């Protein structure tokens, strides 16, 4: 047994002993529990090897790195996934991600951008969103002549979806079948992110049933010392239309019976509807797909259709 899990077992035993002794006050019990948990957690961090920061290149103690994700181990321990940058470097990197409002010029955090524009959602999949202006500047933006609005929208869309967008498939090397469809303008980085997302835990979607996910599939491949291969399916000429093409290909794949692991395949209603339909998802005009409910009427893809002029 390694030192880490031994420590964890001791911690659990300690908790159980505490529980047996239990004070009658539930608040106190709760406080003790969290205090002990934190102690065990800090002790675990102390045991971690030093890490080298990818920004300043200094080797620092694991505790000098933050984390925002956890891997749940088999024994239930939530193991933090350390950032690649040390805490100060991570902060500098975060600050750089805050972009400037196109109206007031102030540095704006992701959450402080307008999320809805003329009723359309500006939020895409993952963390990508079209950042037009901050919430405070919305009235000023709407007061601009329409041509100026469109020029700023063009810039915002081009920033969110830089040129060079492709739709790619991740293929299983064991049978050469496509299991995931995505979009990116940075294939290498996206591929690394996919490998990092590897996870052995099953996913439950809306508490209904357990799903075998892309992360599980990648985990299984890595376990067998294999990797998926990434192949380009389409080069997107109008970059901000990449989310539309991504969804078109996912729907097309579902219709063709590809064994995709994209999140859309967990929506049984959608899958049934797609399979029953004889629409050509790669050719049918966008408006028709909206009308038939395959795209949201006020979704980000519809926003690009209505407002983006290359």
- Give contact residues for Zn ion (rule: CB under 5 A): 53, 55-56, 86, 89, 101, 103-104, 134, 137
Cβ-based nearer residue to Zn ion, 104 or 306: 104
Q: Compute the least distance from the CB of residue 255 to Zn ion, in Å.
A: 43
Q: Two tokens at 171? A: 């293929």
Nearest CA-CA partner of 128 in 184, 198, 205: 184
Nearer to Zn ion, 43 or 55 (CB): 55
- The CB-of-232 to Zn ion minimum distance in angstroms stands at 35
Q: Which residue, 138 or 267, is less far from Zn ion as judged by CB?
A: 138
Q: Which residue has the tokens 């469109």?
A: 150
> Ramachandran region of residue 203, left (φ > 0), alpha (ψ -120 to 50) or beta?
beta
b/e burial code for range 66-85 (CB count within 10 A of at least 16 → b): eeeeeeeeeeebebbebbeb
Closer residue to Zn ion in complex, CB, 99/128: 99
Closest separation in Å from C-beta 100 to Zn ion: 8
CA-wise closest residue to 265 among 277, 276, 253:
253
Q: Which two tokens stand for residue 83?
A: 């950032």
**Cβ distance to Zn ion smaller for residue 56 or 116:** 56
The least CB distance from residue 47 to Zn ion, in Å, is 21
CB of 59 to Zn ion, least distance (A): 10
Query: Residue 85 Cβ, how far from Zn ion at the closest point, in Å?
Result: 5
| Nearer CB in complex with Zn ion: 155/223 | 155
Element spanning 274, H or E = helix 268-276
Contacts 24+ apart (CB under 8 A), 105-108: 106/134, 108/134
- Please classify residue 262 by burial: count the beta carbons closer than 10 Å to its beta carbon, then call 0-12 exposed, 13-18 middle and 19+ buried: buried
Residue carrying the six token digits 């969103």: 129
CA angle 73, 76, 78 (to 5 degrees): 65
């Amino acid at each position: 047994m390694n030192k880490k899990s031994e420590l964890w077992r001791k911690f659990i035993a300690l908790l159980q002993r505490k529980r047996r002794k239990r004070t009658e006050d539930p608040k106190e019990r709760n406080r003790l529990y969290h205090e002990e948990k934190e102690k065990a957690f800090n002790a675990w961090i102390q045991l971690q090897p030093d890490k080298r920061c990818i920004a300043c290149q200094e080797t620092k103690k694991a505790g000098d790195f933050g984390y925002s994700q956890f891997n749940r181990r088999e024994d239930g321990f939530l193991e933090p996934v350390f950032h690649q940058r040390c805490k100060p470097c991570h902060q500098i990197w975060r600050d750089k991600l805050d972009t400037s409002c196109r109206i007031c010029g102030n540095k704006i955090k992701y959450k402080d951008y307008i999320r809805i524009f003329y009723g359309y959602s500006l939020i895409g999949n993952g963390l990508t969103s079209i950042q037009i202006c901050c919430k405070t500047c919305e009235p000023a933006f709407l007061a601009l002549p329409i041509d100026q609005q469109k020029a700023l929208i063009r810039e915002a869309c081009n920033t969110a979806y830089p040129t060079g967008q492709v739709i790619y498939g991740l293929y299983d090397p064991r049978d050469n079948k496509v299991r995931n469809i995505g979009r990116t303008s940075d294939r290498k980085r996206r591929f690394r992110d996919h490998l990092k997302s590897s996870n052995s835990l099953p996913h439950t979607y809306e508490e209904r049933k357990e799903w075998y996910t892309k992360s599980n599939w990648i985990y299984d491949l890595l376990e067998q010392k294999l990797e998926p291969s990434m192949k380009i399916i389409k080069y997107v000429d109008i970059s901000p239309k990449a989310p539309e093409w991504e969804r078109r290909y996912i729907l097309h794949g579902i219709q063709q019976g590809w064994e995709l692991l994209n999140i859309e395949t967990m929506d049984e209603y959608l899958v049934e509807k797609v399979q029953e339909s004889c629409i050509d998802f790669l050719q049918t005009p966008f408006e028709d797909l909206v009308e038939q409910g395959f795209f949201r009427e006020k979704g980000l893809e519809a926003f690009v259709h209505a407002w983006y002029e290359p």
